[in-house]
Amino acid sequence: MKSHRRRLSGVTVVAFLGSGLAACGISSWLPSATPPASTIKVESDPAGAEAKSSVGPSCRTPCSLTIATSSAFTVTFTLAGYASLTVPVAPRPPGDPREAGREAVTFDPDPVYAQLEPVAPAKGKKRPAAQGKTLEPPTATQK
Rounded distance between C-alpha atoms, residue 17 and residue 11, angstroms: 10
Rounded distance between C-alpha atoms, residue 124 and residue 143, angstroms: 37
Q: Which residue has the higher pLDDT, 115 or 15?
A: 115
Q: Which residue has the higher pLDDT, 48 or 7?
A: 48
List pLDDT tens digits, range 96-127: 555 455 556 788 999 999 999 999 876 765 55
List pLDDT tens digits, range 30-67: 555 566 788 999 999 999 999 999 998 999 999 999 98
What per-residue confidence (pLDDT) applies to 107?
Answer: 87
Q: Please state, rounded to an integer, the average pLDDT across all residues of the chain.
A: 74
Enumerate the domain spans of the chain.
1-28, 38-115
Cβ contact 65:75 at 8 Å: yes
Number of neighbouring beta carbons within 10 Å of residue 78? 17
